[in-house]
Amino acid sequence: MDKLFDNGIPIVYKICIVNIYPPAKKGRMDKQMILEDLRNKILSDQYPQGTPLIERDLCTIYGVSRTPIREILWSLVTDGIVEQRSTRGFSVVKFEFNQIVDIFQTREALEGMAARLACNRLDQKYHEQLSNLRAELQQVDIYTNSTQGVELGRKMHNLVFEIASNNLLTDFHKKVGYLAALTTNMTKQNIKTEKESQQHHLAIIDAILGGDAEQSEKQMRNHLRVTCQNIISFYNGAVFKIL
């Protein structure tokens, strides 16, 4: 706010009003860009589980009409990370315990096989990438930088699928991966779980680098099963046996 003076006496104030929303036209994102941006905000926990997604607010934020926003929200429903509420609105999905178990059991099947295939299809290029990733993981202090540990863990899981080189497995993993990202946000609240995950990731990498397909699958399955158990125990205050 700028003062205007006449002979040293303030006579008027010039007030600048700032629009808190992005411009509706200049540099506006198209529908695909909005979809990816909103999906990333959900997966990165900027919109936590259970957060209402108000169509009117999203229209204002992105500078588009309600029709593309509604289509985007339905795409995210298909991804499994948004749900339609009984009031006909939308919100970020909030998992029940049985849904968490379903996600991890599915991941066990997919990622266990991916680890086995990765072990058999490891070439020199991927051997080097996996070795470098292991060195990064080992150096992370989970107690002071759990976020980096989470990101490197996610990178390891994705790299295993890349090495496995099975298109169908990768397609299934992409869908389950959105759900897995939301459960990963839950583990960030529990440093003990992240510390255990760090050790599991190192064991998985060692098995793959060592060429032991059976151990690679076993370590991956054990990692996912223990993580599922820890999430449920942490949030429910009880211990469940995950079959």
Q: Would you state the pLDDT for residue 165? A: 94
Strand partners, 92: 82
Q: Specify if 10 maps to a domain.
A: no
- From residue 42, alpha-carbon distances to 16, 75, 87, 89, 205 in Å are 33, 13, 21, 16, 29
Q: Would you state the pLDDT for residue 188? A: 67
Q: Would you state the pLDDT for residue 27? A: 55
Q: Specify if 241 maps to a domain.
A: no
Q: Would you state the pLDDT for residue 232? A: 83
Q: How many structural domains compose the chain?
A: 2
In the 3-class helix/strand/coil scheme, how is 14-61 assigned residue by residue?
A: ECCCCCCCCCCCCCCCCHHHHHHHHHHHHHCCCCCCCCEECHHHHHHH
Q: Would you state the pLDDT for residue 13? A: 37
The one-digit pLDDT tens for each residue of the chain (243 residues) are 444 444 554 444 333 333 333 333 445 788 999 999 999 999 888 998 899 999 999 999 999 999 999 999 999 999 999 999 877 799 999 888 888 999 999 999 999 999 999 999 999 999 999 999 999 999 999 888 888 888 899 999 999 999 999 999 998 988 888 888 888 777 766 788 889 999 999 999 999 999 999 999 999 999 999 999 888 887 665 444 444
Cα–Cα nearest to 217, from 73, 64, 110, 88: 110
124 plus 170 within the same structural domain: yes
What's the whole-model pTM score?
0.75
User: What is the domain extent for residue 133?
Assistant: 97-236
CA distance 15 to 239: 59
66 plus 109 within the same structural domain: no
146 plus 176 within the same structural domain: yes
- Name the one residue in this structure whose structure tokens are 């700028």: 2
Q: Which pair of tokens denotes residue 30?
A: 């198209």
